[in-house]
């Protein structure tokens, strides 16, 4: 099952729809442990990314990913903009010149994305950030390889998102709350889940 340019564009457009529908929910999550703008930030960035890709004749996955990265870097602001932007920039590097990616090539791109997010944000697994979804998802895809089930990946990603609830934040704004940050989902983990859910649904189509 390969990801090509058409599927990539569908993925980002679907992710955008999911984020627009959940804009208020994401901001509400961020109001509990941050500054309440995560939905606004993500909605602005993904609307721009989806718009830039619509009608793009480009089939090069690297170039498409690069456009998403640029949209996110220029429009999102906040902590999450540079982090999601870096993730797509790293994936663009892996997919440069490719018009399709196998599951193996997806796992390579995700690995680089995770490395980029961690290098930029200095968060580790368990710090209650988007890393808590991205890193296990990346490992899951690498381990399952050609036996990957998109349905299973989606369930797995949601479980990782849910696991951020009891955690105490060690990075980002939520870390200022100390122990009071536990008992709430991490907003960036939730938006990351939406991104992977959209990928799984697009690949299943």
* Contacts made by residues 49-57, CB under 8 angstroms, sequence distance 24+: 49/12, 49/16, 50/12, 50/13, 50/15, 50/16, 53/8, 53/9, 53/12, 53/13, 54/9, 54/13, 56/9
Reading the block at residue 187, the tokens are 């907003």
- 4-43 mask for ligand ADP (x: CB under 6 A)? --------------------------x---xx-xx--x--
- 92-131 mask for ligand ADP (x: CB under 6 A)? -------------------------x---xxx-----xxx
Reading the block at residue 20, the tokens are 């627009």
Shortest Å distance, C-beta 55 to ligand ADP: 28
Using CA atoms, how far residue 201 sits from 15, 90, 107, in Å, is: 10, 23, 17
Q: Which is nearer to Mg ion, 154 or 174 (CB)?
A: 174
Q: Which is nearer to Mg ion, 32 or 142 (CB)?
A: 32
Question: Phi, psi at residue 100, to the nearest 5°?
Answer: -155, 160
Which residues between 145 and 204 bind ligand ADP (CB under 6 A)? Answer: 171-173, 186-189
CA distance 91 to 22: 25
Q: Which is nearer to ligand ADP, 134 or 156 (CB)?
A: 134
Q: Which among 94, 99, 163, 96 is positioned nearest to 130, based on CA atoms?
A: 163
- 68-107 mask for Mg ion (x: CB under 5 A)? ----------x-----------------------------
Cβ proximity of 24 and 80 under 8 Å:
no
Shortest Å distance, C-beta 81 to ligand ADP: 7
Q: Name the residue whose CB lies closest to ligand ADP.
A: 188
Site residues (vs Mg ion, CB under 5 A): 30, 34-35, 37-38, 78
């Amino acid at each position: 099952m390969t990801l090509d340019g058409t599927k990539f564009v569908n993925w980002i457009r679907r992710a955008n729809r999911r984020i627009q529908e959940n804009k208020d929910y994401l901001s509400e999550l961020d109001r509990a442990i941050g500054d309440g703008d995560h939905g606004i930030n993500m909605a602005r960035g993904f609307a721009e990314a989806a718009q830039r890709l619509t009608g793009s004749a480009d089939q090069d996955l690297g170039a498409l990913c690069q456009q998403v990265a640029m949209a996110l870097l220029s429009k999102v602001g906040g902590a999450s903009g540079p982090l999601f932007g870096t993730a797509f920039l790293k994936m663009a590097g892996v997919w440069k010149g490719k018009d399709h990616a196998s599951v193996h090539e997806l796992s390579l791109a995700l690995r680089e994305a995770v490395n980029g997010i961690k290098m930029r944000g200095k968060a580790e697994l368990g710090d209650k950030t988007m890393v808590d979804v991205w890193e296990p998802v990346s490992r899951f895809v690498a381990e399952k390889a050609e036996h990957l089930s998109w349905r299973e990946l989606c369930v797995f990603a949601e479980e990782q998102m849910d696991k951020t609830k009891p955690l105490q934040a060690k990075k980002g704004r939520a870390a200022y709350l100390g122990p009071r940050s536990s008992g709430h989902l991490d907003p960036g983990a939730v938006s990351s889940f939406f991104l992977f859910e959209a990928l799984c649904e697009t690949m299943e189509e």
